[in-house]
Amino acid sequence: MRQEFYRVFLDRLLFTAIIGGLLLAGYAALRYVDLASRLSGNMAAQIHESGGEVELESKGQAQGLMASDIERRRLVAEQFTMMVVGGVGLALLGLGWLGADILRGRRKKAEAASASLGTAPP
């Protein structure tokens, strides 16, 4: 009875790890793509990618470019965070899958051993 409870609990825990990993990886991928699209429209990011220099004509233009650069840095930092979250999600998915596979193999061996003991002559 107690062993059955632990088996069911472990199965559900591993299933939760798999689902949680999928959700984390999916969220991180979607968020990363969203951040990349927002970065592509950022003026400072476009200037940074082209490697060009900008001739500023007014103080307002300089302040706007500075605000755009602050936003670019925030978006890049958030993209990095989403890569880490996606990696954690994939690790969780892998660990859940591996644990479930190991348990499934152990159960098959135990069932085969009990079946062979039941059919073997005394």
Residue ranges per structural domain of the chain: 2-113
Residue 97 has pLDDT above 50, yes or no: yes
Task: State the pLDDT at residue 47.
Answer: 85
Average pLDDT of the residues of the chain: 90
DSSP string, the chain: -HHHHHHHHHHHHHHHHHHHHHHHHHHHHHHHHHHHHHHHT-HHHHHHHHT------SHHHHHHHHHHHHHHHHHHHHHHHHHHHHHHHHHHHHHHHHHHHHHHHHHHHHHHHHHHHHHS--
Q: Average pLDDT for residues 23-49, to the nearest whole number?
A: 93
Task: State the pLDDT at residue 100.
Answer: 93
Q: How confident is the model at residue 67 (pLDDT cuts 50, 70, 90)?
A: very high
Residue 120 has pLDDT above 50, yes or no: no
| 42 close to 72: Cβ distance less than 8 angstroms | yes
